[in-house]
């Protein structure tokens, strides 16, 4: 059989530069950085935090959504743990808390303290067995209480002293009540005085502080969840969507497989939220996933900084070429492409979007931030955070432990890792990193003469460069200070 070799050279980000164009963009503020994550969800900034266990858990998902992007919660945990993370993101910011955390009047002060600490809230609604409003207890009420065994009823603000509103309360009316009465929480009750919601001053402030936040129809932060392609992952996806997840990502290294296609068709029948599938690196992969119902496709095989799939298996396509090929098919079919892997800086972000991606997934670039769940380590006086590929040895073993409840020596021997564990420098907050990436994107749009990412697709022209050209692109012939 004749050997098959593609004649075109496949390229990645360092192999090219974008050609500057005449621009009528007079200010970076004039450009629009919004783009579609899926057919149904448009983000203010085209950045998604990766579904890695050293990148995205609750804090990262909240921070990403507040800045106009979105976070995808990883799946390397039990279903109840993932569901709880979804619920925490949904409670972090909303106009109305639909299911406020409640406590019985007979519960102890210590129990109230523990519940507030566990659920990371500053107050609890005290209710009867029938769900009727009896009072409110806040951190202030229990913080300095001497007797932790005293009932909550002794320290709470009772019903008769509370300001309450009906379930149809508007944001402006609630703001006025909170200001007039100098209170922080406004319980909402129905005609039978049963608690149906809660509006807090903190949530109203957050709405003002984060005007570009990615939110659902009920004013809550949006969040995605990753699932696998096994039978039990259907239950995981359903549980997370019931808890409020807005998008589900089928998280498989080789997404162009019958296993993923079958899972995709199953989830499309059972769920009402958009489904993202991947990863793929070819136009055929995009086409097959789109025909199976994918609302977006994740592109990238072996491009991540902690991924060694190409070394272990010999398979993969350099990321820029993969994006170019997949985006052409995605745009033909009306399916957004998510570039996943290889983006280290804002220039790579611009190149990925110029090649046709609608959004870009960041992993290692966010792993060093304060909001990432990776462990902190100190080396020679500098702080770092741990990052690992989800096909690394320890990630595989952790997944087996979750699935089986225990691991054996055999389990360790069976793993052939396609990822590594590493450390990255501590980088401050997610806000700081996103500011740099989005600022670079705004400048990139102006160099392309584009006001939107869609215009960038049309205007972009790449030029291959040599290693000398690459060296010329950075600081050279000087000593940095």
Known binding residue 53? Answer is: no
Of 93, 112, 83, 416, the C-alpha closest to 243 is: 83
Strand order in the sheet with 382-388: 376-379, 382-388, 421-425
- Which residue's structure tokens are 């743990």? 81
* Residue 32 exposure: Cα atoms within 13 Å on the Cβ side: 11
Q: Which two structure tokens, joined as six digits, stand for 344?
A: 């280290």
Known binding residue 304? Answer is: yes
Known binding residue 252? Answer is: yes
Distance of CA 389 to the CA centre of its chain: 17
Known binding residue 418? Answer is: yes
Of 210, 181, 182, the C-alpha closest to 44 is: 210
Cα dihedral 448, 453, 459, 465 in deg (nearest 10): 70
Known binding residue 87? Answer is: no
Known binding residue 244? Answer is: no
Active-site residue, 326 included: no
Known binding residue 341? Answer is: yes
The string of DSSP letters for 342-394 reads ---SHHHHHHHHHTT-SEEEESHHHHTBTTS-SPEEEETTEEEEEEE-TTSHH
Known binding residue 219? Answer is: no
Known binding residue 253? Answer is: yes
Contacts of 338 (CB under 8 A, 6+ apart): 37, 48, 276, 278, 296, 297, 298, 299, 357, 358, 359, 360, 361
204 and 171 Cβ atoms separated by less than 8 Å: yes
Return the sign of the alpha-carbon dihedral for residues 278, 92, 271, 290: negative
How many beta carbons lie within 10 A of that of residue 208, not counting itself? 8
Q: Which two structure tokens, joined as six digits, stand for 12?
A: 């990645």
Return the DSSP state at 176.
H
Identify the active-site residue in 79, 307, 349, 391: 307
Return the sign of the alpha-carbon dihedral for residues 179, 181, 187, 191: negative
- Which residue's structure tokens are 């070819």? 282
Known binding residue 302? Answer is: yes
Return the DSSP state at 340.
E
Q: What is the largest CA-CA distance in the chain?
A: 86
**66: region left, alpha or beta (phi > 0 left; psi from -120 to 50 alpha):** alpha
Known binding residue 326? Answer is: no
Return the DSSP state at 39.
S
Known binding residue 49? Answer is: no
Known binding residue 27? Answer is: no
Known binding residue 300? Answer is: yes
The string over 411-422, giving b where at least 16 C-beta atoms fall within 10 Å of a residue's C-beta and e elsewhere, is eeeebebbbbeb
Known binding residue 197? Answer is: no
Known binding residue 406? Answer is: no
Known binding residue 330? Answer is: no
358 and 336 Cβ atoms separated by less than 8 Å: yes
168 and 190 Cβ atoms separated by less than 8 Å: no
Known binding residue 128? Answer is: no
How many beta carbons lie within 10 A of that of residue 4, not counting itself? 5
76 and 99 Cβ atoms separated by less than 8 Å: no
- Residues recognised as catalytic: 307
Cite the annotated binding site by residue number.
251-253, 300-302, 304-305, 307, 340-342, 363-364, 418, 472-474
Cite the annotated binding site for K(+) by residue number.
302, 304, 307, 472-474
Cite the annotated binding site for IMP by residue number.
305, 340-342, 363-364, 418
Cite the annotated binding site for NAD(+) by residue number.
251-253, 300-302
């Amino acid at each position: 059989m004749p050997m098959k070799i593609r004649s075109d050279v496949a390229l990645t980000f360092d192999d090219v530069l974008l050609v500057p164009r005449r621009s009528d963009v007079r200010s970076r503020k004039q450009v629009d950085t919004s783009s579609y994550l899926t057919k149904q969800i448009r983000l203010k900034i085209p950045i998604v935090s990766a579904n890695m266990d050293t990148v995205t858990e609750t804090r990262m998902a909240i921070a990403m959504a507040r800045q106009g992007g979105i976070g995808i919660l990883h799946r390397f945990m039990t279903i109840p743990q993932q569901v709880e993370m979804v619920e925490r993101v949904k409670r972090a910011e909303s106009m109305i808390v639909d299911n406020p955390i409640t406590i019985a009047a007979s519960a102890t002060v210590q129990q109230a303290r523990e519940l507030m600490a566990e659920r990371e809230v500053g107050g609890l609604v005290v209710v009867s067995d029938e769900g009727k409003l009896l009072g409110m207890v806040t951190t202030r009420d229990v913080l300095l209480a001497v007797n932790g065994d005293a009932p909550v009823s002794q320290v709470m603000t009772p019903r008769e002293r509370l300001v309450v509103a009906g379930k149809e309360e508007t944001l402006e009316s609630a703001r006025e009540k909170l200001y007039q009465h100098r209170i922080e929480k406004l319980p909402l009750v129905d005609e039978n005085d049963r608690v149906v919601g809660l509006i807090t001053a903190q949530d109203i402030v957050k709405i003002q502080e984060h005007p570009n936040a990615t939110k659902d129809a009920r004013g809550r932060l949006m969040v995605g969840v990753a699932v696998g392609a096994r039978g039990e992952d259907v239950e995981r996806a359903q549980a997370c969507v019931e808890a409020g997840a807005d998008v589900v990502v089928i998280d498989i290294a080789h997404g162009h497989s019958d296993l993923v296609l079958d899972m995709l068709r199953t989830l499309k029948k059972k769920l009402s939220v958009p489904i993202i599938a991947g990863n793929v690196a070819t136009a055929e992969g995009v086409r097959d996933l789109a025909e199976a119902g994918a609302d977006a496709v994740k592109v990238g095989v072996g491009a991540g900084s902690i991924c060694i799939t190409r070394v272990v298996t010999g398979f993969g396509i350099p990321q820029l070429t993969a994006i170019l090929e997949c985006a052409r098919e995605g745009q033909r079919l009306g399916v957004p492409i998510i570039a996943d892997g290889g983006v280290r800086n804002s220039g790579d972000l611009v190149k990925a979007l110029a090649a046709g991606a609608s959004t870009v997934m960041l992993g290692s670039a966010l792993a060093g931030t304060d909001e990432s769940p990776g462990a902190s380590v100190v080396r020679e006086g500098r702080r770092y955070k741990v990052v690992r590929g989800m096909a690394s040895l320890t990630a595989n073993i952790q997944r087996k432990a979750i699935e089986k409840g225990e691991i054996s020596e055999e389990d360790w021997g069976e793993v052939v890792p396609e990822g590594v564990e590493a450390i990255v420098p501590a980088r401050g907050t997610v806000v700081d990193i996103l500011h740099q990436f989005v600022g670079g994107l705004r400048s990139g749009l102006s160099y392309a003469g584009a006001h939107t990412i869609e215009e960038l697709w049309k205007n972009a022209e790449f030029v291959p460069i040599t290693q000398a050209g690459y060296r010329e692109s950075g600081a050279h012939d000087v000593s940095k200070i």
